[in-house]
Amino acid sequence: MDILSITGLRARYGHVEALHSVDLRLGEGELVTVLGPNGAGKSTLMRAIMGVCSNSGQVQFRGKDTPRNNPVALATDGLILVPEGRGVLGPMTVEENLEIGGYLLGDRNAEFERRLAEVLEMFPRLRERLSQDAGSLSGGEQQMLAVGRALMAGPKLLLLDEPSLGLAPRVIGEILETLRELNARGLSILLVEQKAPLALKIANRAYFLSLGKIVSEFDPKEVSSHEELSKHYLS
């Protein structure tokens, strides 16, 4: 069964429609990427999936229609967004940020400690900086914290909005490698990216979004050259 199924999704800002009838699916255990240039509607798509912008159409998560304006209910069901710009809480420590990620568990119970150990094993740099303010971390470390905080919520599907933004190529490589590893462990992932060649290295399937529309869907393995990629971009 598809973990995420989107049909005829439209989103608008005032009178301007930013997403025009988007159809998209993500099977259980898949890592799917949505590529597209600046302003294509990638962040709007993420917000529309989370039900936090004006939209119409159908978004089903694990076979059920998703609620509007209720990201907490979605998080409880296992759908978590790592927003563009990371959204870490700068004046709070790394550990406090991770605690916020796990707040649905209530206390720091055994499950909390298990998740924390897993996140710190995945991102050893966070372990070294647990008592440091999140705002003093490098961009790459903040992105790791944003992913770590999302993992603390125990997601079944992780949405990531341009995790590579503003990061050096080596750091982007590290983060994408972590996403590949998480996917190999069974986590379903929807990755929105502008950096197509990098995202295509780890994705099982790709969509291309342009001017608020899905203009192509393809298998990353079929795209071995820049020319072929541009064909998809332009088709």
Chain residues in the site for ligand ATP (CB under 6 A): 13, 18, 36, 38-44, 84, 194
52, 69 contact by CB (below 8 A): yes
- Which DSSP letter does residue 85 get? T
> In whole angstroms, how close is the CB of 36 to ligand ATP at the nearest point?
5
Choice between 23 and 84, CB closer to ligand ATP:
84
Task: Identify the three-state secondary structure at position 122.
Answer: helix
> In whole angstroms, how close is the CB of 42 to ligand ATP at the nearest point?
3
The separation between CA 142 and the C-alpha centre of its own chain, rounded to angstroms, equals 15
Choice between 32 and 119, CB closer to ligand ATP:
32
189, 160 contact by CB (below 8 A): yes
Structure tokens at 44: 């709007």
CA distance linking residue 140 with residue 29, whole number of Å: 26
Choice between 12 and 156, CB closer to ligand ATP:
12
> In whole angstroms, how close is the CB of 110 to ligand ATP at the nearest point?
39
Strand order of the β-sheet with 2-13 is 16-27, 2-13, 55-61, 64-65
> In whole angstroms, how close is the CB of 47 to ligand ATP at the nearest point?
8
> In whole angstroms, how close is the CB of 215 to ligand ATP at the nearest point?
13
Integer Rg of the chain from CA: 17
Choice between 44 and 142, CB closer to ligand ATP:
44
CA distance linking residue 182 with residue 129, whole number of Å: 22
Choice between 18 and 94, CB closer to ligand ATP:
18
CA distance linking residue 60 with residue 65, whole number of Å: 4
Choice between 22 and 31, CB closer to ligand ATP:
22
CA atoms within 13 A on the CB side of 107: 2
> In whole angstroms, how close is the CB of 44 to ligand ATP at the nearest point?
3
Choice between 13 and 103, CB closer to ligand ATP:
13
CA distance linking residue 31 with residue 123, whole number of Å: 20
> In whole angstroms, how close is the CB of 188 to ligand ATP at the nearest point?
21
